[in-house]
Amino acid sequence: QQQVKQSPQSLIVQKGGIPIINCAYENTAFDYFPWYQQFPGKGPALLIAIRPDVSEKKEGRFTISFNKSAKQFSLHIMDSQPGDSATYFCAARLTSGGGADGLTFGKGTHLIIQP
Amino acid sequence: DAGVIQSPRHEVTEMGQEVTLRCKPISGHNSLFWYRQTMMRGLELLIYFNNNVPIDDSGMPEDRFSAKMPNASFSTLKIQPSEPRDSAVYFCASTLFTGTRNTEAFFGQGTRLTVV
C-alpha cells in the first residue's frame, strides 16, 4: 500500500517557468511533510518542509502549498533554473511519543529545466 | 561535522556472499534510519533505531537482512546470503529527536550495491 502518491513521474519546464509537483497522502496521523532534492550519485537533501498547522510555506524560490482537508501538498519552484534539474521526493512522517519515525516517500519526480 | 558517512560507496559481490554496509551518523543524533532505493520501488524504509534500539524493522525484506547499532556512532546493515535482486542504493540517515520533535533527516551519500 503506497501511503504517499506523487505526480508527475517526470516534468520538463523551460527556464523561468514554475514546475509544480503534487503529492497526496493517506495517513491523517502524519504531522511533518518534507520535500527532498536528489542529484545523481548523491543522497537526498532536505529542501523545504511544512507541518499541517499552516497552509503555505516559502523559502526562497521554493513554496509548499498544503491542503489538510484534501490530504494533498505540492511543491512550486519559482523562476526555475537549469541547476534545479534533479529528482524531487515528497515525504511524510509521524512523530510517535517514543521518538522519530521513518519517512514515507513518494516515488519521485524527475525534473528537467531546459535553458 | 562531516555529515552522515557511509562505506563503502560501491560494492560489487557475487550472489551468495555476505555483504556488510556501514554507517556513521552525525554526532549527537539519536535516531538512525536505513533506506533502500531502486527504480521500481523508490525509497523504502528498511529499519530504524532510536537511542541504538531497533524500533521498527517491518521494512526489512527478508531474514537475509539484519541491522545492528552497537553504539551511538556506528550501525551496520548485513545481507547474508546476497541475491541479485538486492542490487540497489542503500542510504543511511540520522536525526535528532528532542523529545517532542525531530530535526530534519540528513542522508549519507549511499552505498551502491551490485550483486552479480
Task: Please report the residues numbered 19 through 58 in chain B whose beta carbons come closer than 8 angstroms to any beta carbon of chain A.
Answer: 30-31, 33, 35, 42-45, 48, 50-51, 55-56
- Quick: pLDDT tens for B101-112: 778 889 999 999
Beta bridge partners of A109: A88
Average pLDDT across chain A, whole number = 92
Q: Note whether B110 contacts A: Cβ–Cβ < 8 A.
A: yes
Distance CA B36, CA B60 (A): 10
pLDDT category, A6, cuts 50, 70, 90? very high
Q: Do B97 and A44 touch (CB under 8 A)?
A: no
> Measured between alpha carbons, how far is B101 from B115 in angstroms, rounded to an integer?
38
- Contact (CB<8Å) A99/B45: no
**Residues forming beta bridges with residue B36, ordered by sequence position:** B44, B90
Quote the CA–CA distance of A42 and A59 in Å, as a whole number: 22
Chain A positions touching B45 (Cβ under 8 A) are: 102-104
Three-state secondary structure string covering B84-115:
HHHCEEEEEEEECECCCCECCCEECCCEEEEE
In the predicted model, what is the mean pLDDT of chain B? 94
Give the pLDDT confidence of B36-56 residue by residue, as tens digits.
Answer: 999 888 999 999 999 999 988
**Residue A96 pLDDT > 90:** no
Phi, psi for A45 (deg, rounded to 5): -130, 135
State yes or no: pLDDT of A7 exceeds 90.
Answer: yes
* Facing A43 at nearest CB: one of B42, B102, B108: B108
* B1-20 confidence digits (pLDDT tens): 689 999 999 999 999 999 99
pLDDT at B100 over 90: no
**CB nearest to A99's CB, from B55, B106, B107:** B55
Contact indicator for B108, A43 with CB cutoff of 8 Å: yes
Write down the pLDDT at residue A99: 58
Q: Name the residue in chain A with its Cα closest to that of B55.
A: A101
Cβ–Cβ below 8 Å for A100 and B50 = yes
CB A65 within 8 A of CB A73: yes
